[in-house]
Chains A and B, each alone.
Chain A
Amino acid sequence: MIEVRFGKQLPNLLLDIDFSAPSQGLTALFGRSGSGKTSIVQAIAGGLKPDSGRIAIGDRVFFDKAGGIDLDIHRRNIGYVFQDSRLFPHLTVRNNLLFGYKRAPGEHRFDLGTVVNLLDISSLLDRRPHHLSGGERQRVAIGRALLAQPTLLLMDEPLSSLDPPRKSELLSYIEGVRDELQVPILYISHAFNEVVRLADQLVIVDAGRVVLCGPLMDVASDTTVAPLIGRFDAGSIIECTVATHDNDVELSTLGFSGGQLRVPRVDLAIGTRVRVRIRSRDVAISLSRPMDVSITNRLPGTLLSLTPRDGPYVDAHIDVGGATVRALITRESSGRLGLEPGLKVWALIKTVAFDSRSVGFIRRARSTTSPLE
């Protein structure tokens, strides 16, 4: 169990943090800029000294104000992946990678070969950071942190300085790290799509406080945090299984508890479990099943709730066979249709709304135990 509990007065923010994360899988720390996310990571890594509290991973205590413990940065054994990679310019990629490896005490769980293959950086080993692209640099940075044999991997917005094609490329690699290596990851981001794709647990931070903490599905669909996620990023997350592929029309079918979703072809094996995010702005509501309309995904369900939002909008929660689909529609339309909770409605989602950029397809590893517990 990763325990993070501390207080700290910063120049323009009072931090009052209390959350815990499991010792396996990826926990995302999500919040807007200035919410305090980076300060939390700094406190865990040892770069920021809290005024009070306790930070520990399992029985390794890093900070305990009451007990007078404050481990030095270099003793915390935490792998830190920086937003700006921070590779050492005077060393080759290989020597960058081995920097922490050489200094890690005890048995080395992760070795150079494994990490290099996982991150596809074998061709870069003798180059200097100066000659690498942004994506390559981040992969090396992740490798370097891993080879330091960390008990926790901290990733501080590792994708924010990359352009979109690099971002999704790197996301795949991070998924690989999450699934193949047994090291808990704390992932900081202000981009919700990254969270959706990677996280098992989600911690939402706002104005120096933890607003909500828990499994991704629970937290993401909680109505109170919707404003924090941003009106146009909010949506629902549904767990599906890849059912079929139609190569001639380049579409795939995903099945879930409430029916099927038709999406652009995904490159995953049949039977793979995935998490699909549906942005509420992409969902329309109909009182009956429309027949002569181009929208393919027409899901029958029951209207659960209607919550007014700022502006002309209303946030509707629809129960579709056990899964919740959210729709963002205008108040006017809601009135025109006479919507009220309990009504049988149809959720309409365009296949086009699902694209690799805005929707997260994720691959789930089957391993469930962590040697760290």
Chain B
Amino acid sequence: MLTPLEIEALSLSLRVAAVASLACLLPAVGVAWLLARTRMPGKTVLNVLVHAPLVLPPVVIGYLLLLLFGVKGPIGHWLYEIFGWRLVFTSGGAILAAAVMAFPLMVRAIRLSLDAVDQGLVFAARSLGASRADAFLTVTIPLMLPGILAGLMMAFAASLGEFGATITFASNVEGQTRTLPLAIYTATQVPGGEAAALRLVLIAVGLALLALVLSEVAERWARRTVYGT
């Protein structure tokens, strides 16, 4: 039913989106905590950096990634010398581009859920002998679960649709970085590729709907588990 090319683009998209959103998870919780609960100096700077991908054009972000993580960039050079890792032309690059673009969305969702946690419950936990870290892990995080799931789903969905940063940074390599959006774009550039493009668009829409349904299910499950309602 699906051509090998379509299957490849689909599975690559799913893989990139899954890895990108999971990779964002822990850092997003950490950054959300730093922004919401601490008074560290430079909080404004961190806030601006984190939200930059929301505000700047994706191609600009892609270009900045190229400057930093390309083999001639400060970080990319080090990665290549020490580990032999290349990010441009590889799915690793696609994952990084998707992760950077989705990160602010996840931070926002998680921060909202963090702010919503009743601090009175945290105090209660501490009065019962829990250290700050203990209370964070056993009370705050479980209560944030619906919000964390929401953030994860949002990051996943955003990663599925990521185009500008991916094509600018990781380039358009079949099987490595040609996710669904890039595949659709490529099809539209090729003469007579309209039919193929349409098919890919339908697949993308179907995927988006599926993701929406799953996220609803996940959120209901989380609410039941956390609050028992």
Contact = CB atoms under 8 A, between A and B. Distances in A.
A–B contact with Cβ pairs below 8 Å: the answer is yes
Interface of A: 45-47, 72-74, 76-80, 82, 84, 86, 88-90, 99-100, 103-104, 128-131, 144-145, 148
A45 B126 CA distance: 10
B223 to A, nearest CB: 10
Contact of A89 (B127, B131, B227): B227
Interface of B: 118, 120-121, 123-132, 134-135, 138-139, 142-143, 145, 225-229
B143 A90 contact: yes
A137 B167 CA distance: 56
Given A74-B130, A88-B139, A99 B226 contact: no
Given A90-B143, A99-B128, A104-B129, A73 B123 contact: yes
A74 B127 contact: yes
A90 B118 CA distance: 13
A199 to B, nearest CB: 23
Given A80-B124, A90-B225, A131-B228, A74 B129 contact: yes
Contacts of B127: 45-46, 73-74, 76, 78-80, 145, 148
Nearest to A47: B123
A148 B130 CA distance: 11
A232 B40 CA distance: 53
B129 A88 contact: no
18 contacts: A74-B126, A74-B132, A78-B127, A79-B128, A80-B127, A82-B124, A86-B121, A86-B123, A86-B124, A88-B139, A90-B143, A90-B226, A99-B130, A99-B138, A100-B128, A103-B128, A103-B129, A148-B127
A73 B123 CA distance: 8
A90 B128 contact: no
A299 to B, nearest CB: 47
A302 to B, nearest CB: 51
Given A82-B124, A84-B120, A89 B130 contact: no
Contacts of B130: 74, 99, 103
Nearest to A130: B228
B210 to A, nearest CB: 28
Nearest to A99: B128
Given A74-B128, A74-B135, A88-B125, 8 more contacts: A80-B124, A84-B120, A86-B120, A88-B139, A89-B143, A89-B228, A90-B226, A130-B229
